[in-house]
A and B are shown apart, each in its own frame.
Chain A
Amino acid sequence: MPLEYYLILGLFLFFIGVFGVITRKNAFSVFMSIELMLNAVNLIFAAFASFNGIIGGYVLVMLVIAIAASEVAFGLGLIIMMQRTHKSLDLDLFSSLREKQ
């Protein structure tokens, strides 16, 4: 398949992830949409690395996967704290940084 196929597929996956982040209000759905966006970027990295013959792109994908692992660990800890303090996972309740309670 040509390179454009992978680029457009990565773009579509990224924008579906953006759609999930903007329109969902459950913390888990937003979290997993961010994971999807990271994967779309990984796909584009791997496509460029493969088509250009530069192996550094694969190394970047590996590093992004490691960063995603640490992000998931911290994010799930934060979600558990949200559930513990607010008894809810609705992200609209967590707006104390942008408006007065």
Chain B
Amino acid sequence: MSEFLSIGFGIFAVLGAFGLVLFKLPANGAMSLVVSLLSIAGLFITLGSTILFLMQIVVYAGAIMVLIVFVIMFLNAQDDALIKKFDSSSLLWFASLPLLIVGIAASLQMDLAPTPTDLGGIKELGIEIFTKWIVPFELISVLLLVALVGVIAVTHKDKDAS
């Protein structure tokens, strides 16, 4: 059952990713990305982490994708949504393909513990965050505050200047 879920979620994640890069309109791509994100949330479940499953759905598929889709609708992005013609910069991707092959070979060489452990609950994660990871956690909160102030400062139209 677990293998079935892993393979099914993996297939849906890859299909959603292909939809994101191959659909012409950004709105369709956003919907495909939602499929991919939900499948990755399911993969977190198969890895034994319920809290990451919840956070992936609430934060990514909920908040972030709603914000992106809202801005896509707000700007009505349709006109210049074409896929770029195949040009010299696409060769960059083919130049990076050997990295993919090396990565697959390296991950097949990996020799690690064979079974997933089940420690991704909210209690263990909370204890870990507030004992070992307290400084990065607080730095992230500062980063969120800086992003909040920065977005308002960048996008705000100054009435005196204009």
Interface residues of chain A, those whose CB is within 8 Å of chain B, are 1-9, 11-13, 15-20, 22-26, 28-29, 31-33, 35-36, 39, 42-43, 46-47, 49-53, 55-56, 58-59, 61-63, 65-74, 76-81, 83, 88-90, 92
Contact = CB atoms under 8 A, between A and B. Distances in A.
B159 interface: no
5 contacts: A11-B100, A22-B92, A43-B43, A62-B52, A74-B150
Contacts of B44: 43, 46
B2 interface: yes
* Minimum-distance CB pairs A-B, first 10: A70-B147, A7-B107, A20-B21, A28-B26, A50-B47, A16-B17, A77-B151, A1-B6, A25-B84, A50-B116
Contacts of A7: 103, 107, 110
Contacts of A63: 133, 136-137, 140
Interface of B: 2-3, 6-7, 10, 13-14, 17-18, 20-21, 26, 29-30, 33, 36-37, 40, 43-44, 46-49, 51-52, 55-56, 59-60, 63-64, 67-68, 71-72, 74-75, 77, 80-84, 86, 89-90, 92-93, 96-97, 100, 103-104, 107-108, 110, 112-117, 119-120, 124-125, 128-129, 132-133, 136-137, 140, 143-144, 146-148, 150-151, 154-155
Nearest to A25: B84
A56 B128 CA distance: 7
Contacts of B51: 58
Contact of B113 (A1, A52, A58): A52
Contacts of A15: 93, 96-97, 100
Given A29-B21, A32-B20, A62-B129, A79 B60 contact: no
B80 A16 contact: no
Given A17-B17, A31-B68, A76-B71, 11 more contacts: A2-B114, A6-B47, A12-B17, A22-B89, A23-B90, A24-B21, A26-B80, A29-B81, A32-B68, A33-B20, A55-B128
B137 to A, nearest CB: 8
Contacts, number: 225
Nearest to A53: B117
Contacts of A22: 89-90, 92-93
Contacts of B36: 13, 36, 39
